[in-house]
Amino acid sequence: MLKMVPNCSFCNAKKIMYESKGLCCNKGQIRLANPDTPPELMRLWTSNDSNARHFRNNIRFFNGHFSFTSLYCHLDRDTTDMRTTGIYTFRAHGQIYHNIHSFADIRSNPKHLELYFYDDDPNLEHRYRHCREEMYEQDKHVIRIITNILRDNPYSHQFRSLGQVQNLQDYRVILNLDQRLDQRTYGAPVTSEVASVSVEGNEKRNTYDKNVILLHGNNRETKHIRSYYGCYDPLSYPLFFPRAELGWHRKIPKKDTPEEDVGANNINNDDVTYPVNGLWVTMREYYCYKFHTRPNIFNPILHGGRLFQQFVVDTYIKIENSRLDYLWHHQKEIRADLYQDLVDNIQAGEQKGNAVGKRTVLASSFIGGPRDKLRRYQDAMALVRKYGKPDIFLSMT
């Protein structure tokens, strides 16, 4: 059994033996606002009454129902549906996509963000139609509770304003991607910062830049929510971020970042996904902070059960994509390290036809890449040459 170790002296995170000292908060450089969970939602996360248990046992269903985006991924059904004996495991193959849709012709069968348009209707029949037949009454009770909780969500507030308009096709919703609240102090944005509603044709040409997503009432266009948008997490996981608290984005300053730098260097959302010059919190640092337990601080993410598993897999893919994006934008620097292997690369191209042409090279620092595997193999063979073959191979399950 591992020995107990003191909590982090900087952020008070619970530590595990052999865990690096800076993993949780980079030795005090990372400081984020604590979650502000509504009391009724906290009850659902922690209570043992029937509604709370039903909420937690079906957490992925309820998050999917209230998510503003649609989730696309290829699941391993053997583990997610528990077709075989064992513990539930969220396992996805390939990418995970979160898409958001424009809202033309939604009155007959609204889904996802469109459901929020009609949440001022006290009957909530538009939501009850999505209840599962075998759990209809239980689903109804929990859906009504969550609907009331999310009335204070800024996105919900904006979308509900469209519920009573007659000519919905004349309206558009503008989602702001350039929210830059200082997460060291502020957790949740206000309604005017996350989105706005306007009538088609009332704006000047080229009014909107690349830092917004436009949703129209006259088409069913699909927009992809990219992993480096601050709205990625609150739009996809409203039960973890009920007040639309921002997720990771590229302008979260570290503790000692000067105030004059916080508002400088405007970043376009088509730029690369990694912060520069060490002044900003990286994606990995942000989620390491979020995934640590701290005494007397309620973190809904860590109570998420099966939804927590989905969130962790989603986060892993986001970080992996961020690293790949960095390597793609720095091919010149990486190729300079390959000049000594030029002959090997030519031979590889001759032997494998699909390797001939423009190549994207993964650095040896990218875990799981070809150069990383070759380096580890060579290190292992060097140990064998020095110390001899291993005497025993032992595995435990």
Q: What is the pLDDT of residues 247-304, one digit of tens each?
A: 998 888 888 777 666 665 555 544 455 665 678 899 999 999 999 999 999 999 999 9
Q: What pLDDT is recorded for position 206?
A: 47
| Residue type (1 letter), 339 | Y
- As a whole-number percent, the residues of the chain with pLDDT over 90 amount to 44
Contact 215, 117 (CB under 8 A): no
* 272 lies in the same domain as 355: no
Q: Establish if 173 belongs to a structural domain.
A: yes
Q: Which two tokens stand for residue 142?
A: 């929990």
Q: Establish if 174 belongs to a structural domain.
A: yes
* 211 lies in the same domain as 302: yes
Q: What pLDDT is recorded for position 235?
A: 94
* 73 lies in the same domain as 188: yes
Q: Establish if 336 belongs to a structural domain.
A: no
* 54 lies in the same domain as 183: yes
Q: What pLDDT is recorded for position 340?
A: 47
* 196 lies in the same domain as 232: yes
Is the pLDDT reported for residue 245 higher than 70? yes
Is the pLDDT reported for residue 30 higher than 50? yes
Q: Which long-range contacts (CB under 8 A, 24 or more apart) does 329-338 make?
A: 329/272, 331/360, 331/361, 334/361, 334/362, 334/363, 335/361, 337/363
Q: What pLDDT is recorded for position 394?
A: 79
* 143 lies in the same domain as 46: yes
Q: What pLDDT is recorded for position 347?
A: 56
- Of the three residues 329, 355, 373, the one that is the final residue of a domain is 329
Is the pLDDT reported for residue 383 higher than 50? yes
The β-bridge partners of 174 are: 196, 214
**CB neighbours of 215 closer than 8 A, spacing ≥ 6?**
100, 101, 102, 103, 172, 173, 174, 175, 221, 223
Backbone conformation region of residue 230, classed left if phi is above 0, alpha if psi is from -120 to 50, else beta: alpha
DSSP label of 150? G
Q: Establish if 123 belongs to a structural domain.
A: yes
Average pLDDT score, the chain: 84
Which whole number is the average pLDDT over 114-130? 92
Nearest Cα residue to 25 out of 7, 46, 52: 7
DSSP string for residues in 151-172: GG-HHHHHHHTTTT-S-GGGEE
Which whole number is the average pLDDT over 88-109? 84
Q: What pLDDT is recorded for position 361?
A: 80
Say which residue the tokens 């996360």 belong to.
45
Q: What are phi and psi of 209, to 5 degrees?
A: -100, -165
Most confident of 56-70, 79-93, 159-173, 358-372: 56-70
- As a whole-number percent, the residues of the chain with pLDDT over 70 amount to 81
Structural domain of residue 379, as residue ranges?
341-387
Q: Say which residue, 339 or 264, is predicted with more confidence.
A: 264
Q: Establish if 395 belongs to a structural domain.
A: no
Q: Establish if 393 belongs to a structural domain.
A: no
**If residue 74 lies in a helix (H) or strand (E), which one and from where to where?**
strand 70-75
3-state SS class at 242: coil
* 18 lies in the same domain as 152: no
Q: Establish if 324 belongs to a structural domain.
A: yes
Is the pLDDT reported for residue 170 higher than 60? yes
* 4 lies in the same domain as 128: no
Out of 178-187, 240-249, 263-272, 323-332, pick the least confident.
263-272
Q: How many domains does the chain have?
A: 3
Q: Establish if 130 belongs to a structural domain.
A: yes
* 280 lies in the same domain as 349: no
* 325 lies in the same domain as 214: yes
* 255 lies in the same domain as 289: yes
Which whole number is the average pLDDT over 185-204? 71
Is the pLDDT reported for residue 84 higher than 80? no
Q: pTM of the entire structure?
A: 0.85
Q: What pLDDT is recorded for position 263?
A: 61
CA distances from 357 to 325, 336, 345, 349 (A): 20, 18, 11, 8
* 99 lies in the same domain as 118: yes
Which whole number is the average pLDDT over 353-360? 62
